[in-house]
Amino acid sequence: MGLFDFAVNMGKKLFGGDDDPAEKIKAQIQADNPGIKNLDVSFDEGKVVLSGDAESAEAMEKAVLIAGNVQGVGEVSADKVIAPKQDAKVEYYVIEKGDTLSGIAKRFLGNASAYPKIFEANREVIKDPNLIYPGQKIRIPLS
């Protein structure tokens, strides 16, 4: 899957102080349970490396987005995650100031009313469709 870049100073504030960032990120991914077994997470100077067995390419993508949308994370590598080949066409988008899911749906899917499709594709990353923030990276399912 390669290396994904994220806005290091944006995202969910997950750790601080004596917390082990890798353990906090792993717990966050497991809590949202995108479908990764034998998950292992390492963290070094803003870079997260994920490994494990994903039940689908979508599960791996969601784990990458959960890890990357954490404040202090600038890169996520999923090269060590074993996953089936991606069949669906997906694009990634970084939320900009003033964006709404309906606006993003209109731009990418041609219909503002299709925003629930984007929300469902990012449910592990977006908990409320009205609460997205600039710098957040999401999946846009195109097929």
- The structural domains of the chain, ordered by start, are 3-82 (3.30.1340), 90-141 (3.10.350.10)
**Euclidean distance between CA atoms 102 and 115, whole angstroms:** 5
pLDDT digits (tens, 9 = 90+) for 9-44: 878 888 777 789 999 999 999 998 889 999 999 999
pTM of the entire predicted model: 0.86
* Residue 9 φ then ψ, to 5°: -95, 5
Quote the pLDDT of residue 9.
81
**Euclidean distance between CA atoms 4 and 49, whole angstroms:** 10
More confident residue, 62 or 33: 62
* Residue 92 φ then ψ, to 5°: -110, 145
CB atoms within 10 A of CB 83: 20
